[in-house]
Amino acid sequence: MIRLDENEIAFPDPEMYDGHEGIIAFGGDLSIERIWFAYQLGIFPWYNPGEEILWWCPDPRFVLYPEDLKVSKSMRKILNRNVFTFSENQSFREVIKNCQQTSRKGQTGTWLSDELMETFIQLHEYGLAKSIEVWQNGELVGGFYGLQIGNVFCGEKTEVSSSIAGIINSMMPIFVIIVGALTEKAGNLN
């Protein structure tokens, strides 16, 4: 593991760290240039606010392929009732802010610092970060955000209203299929 230079946007080759626990570097900054470069290498920041930035590149990675996912009959019934509507990039700031305020079960706080959130907002303004929103009766009830790199969507965090969390969480295959359609539509953005 190496310390990153704040004045140079570079990362070690993840291939050098065969058998590592996932952390390949620490330090650096959260500039849009560094985040964008890192994600293109399969590297991402994950740390506790107020602590040193840790840069991760776990092997293996969890990858979902939209064409391999199946939507259950019960979920199809819910979708056919048109209870929810979906949108892309309509409320990025609201989605990421809600994600920041949502802690995981059994944890206090969140890893999404103000600085990292602002970087993702800037990436969104450049057209590099996207959000998918779920609406019910005109109210935002869930969503997620991430970076689109070519035909790959790197999902970051999901947020759902507690009143419908079970339904939305069971919609994860739907989210992945939506992202698959968006990445296919986008083509190669490199």
- 7, part of any domain: yes
The pLDDT of residue 75 is 72
- Within its chain, how far is the Cα of 10 from the centroid? 22
Q: State which residues of the chain have pLDDT below 70.
A: 18-20, 103-110, 159-190
Residue 102: which CATH number? Answer: 3.40.630.70
Domain boundary among 36, 56, 76: 56
Residue 175 shares a structural domain with residue 95: yes
Phi, psi (deg, nearest 5) at residue 37: -65, -45
Q: In angstroms, rounded to a whole number, what is the distance separating the alpha carbons of residues 31 and 66?
A: 31
- CA pair distance 65, 68, nearest whole angstrom: 6
pLDDT of residue 187: 43
Q: Tally helices (H) and strands (E) across the chain.
A: 6, 8
Task: Report the CATH number that the domain containing residue 17 is assigned in CATH.
Answer: 3.30.70.3550
CB of 115 closer than 8 Å to CB of 167: no
pLDDT at residue 132 in the model = 87
Statement to judge: residues 72 and 23 lie in one domain: no
Tell me which residue range forms the domain holding 163: 66-186
* DSSP string across 112-139: --HHHHHHHHHHHHTT-EEEEEEEETTE
pLDDT of 120 reads 95
pTM > 0.75: yes
Peptide bond into 14 cis (omega under 30): no
First to last CA, the chain: 28
Q: Is residue 61 part of a domain?
A: no
Sign of CA pseudo-dihedral 7, 126, 104, 171: negative
